[in-house]
C-alpha cells in the first residue's frame, strides 16, 4: 500500500502525543529547508522526518507486534 504525506501525517498524529507531534512537524519543516539546500528529494525527506519518532511512545510489546506482523516470521525475546 502506498501512502501520501497527508495520509501518513494523520496516522502519525493518531499514534503520538500532541507534544511529540509538534516536535515531529518542526522536524518536517527543517527537513524541507535542508532538502532544498542539499538538492535532496523533498518528499522523501518530509516522509522520513514525519516517521522518525512514530515509535518513540510505543511500548516494546507494541513494537514487537508490528515487527512480527510485517517483517519477520520469528522474533524471539
Q: Are 2 and 8 in contact (CB under 8 A)?
A: no
- Radius of gyration, CA atoms only, the chain: 14
What pLDDT shows up at residue 74?
A: 57
- The residue among 73 and 4 whose pLDDT is bigger is 4
pTM: 0.81
Q: Domain coordinates of the chain in residue numbers? A: 5-70
d(CA 54, CA 24): 9
Provide the pLDDT confidence category of residue 12 given band limits of 50, 70 and 90: very high
What would the pLDDT profile of 21-61 be if each residue is shown by its tens digit?
999 999 999 999 999 999 999 999 999 999 999 999 999 99
Provide the pLDDT confidence category of residue 73 given band limits of 50, 70 and 90: low
Amino acid at each position: 500500500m502506498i501512502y501520501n504525506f497527508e495520509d501518513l501525517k494523520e496516522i502519525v498524529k493518531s499514534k503520538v502525543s500532541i507534544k511529540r507531534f509538534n516536535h515531529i512537524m518542526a522536524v518536517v519543516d527543517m527537513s524541507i529547508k535542508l532538502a532544498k539546500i542539499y538538492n535532496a528529494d523533498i518528499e522523501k525527506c518530509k516522509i522520513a522526518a514525519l516517521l522518525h519518532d512514530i515509535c518513540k511512545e510505543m511500548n516494546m510489546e507494541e513494537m514487537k507486534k508490528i515487527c512480527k506482523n510485517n517483517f519477520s516470521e520469528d522474533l524471539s525475546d
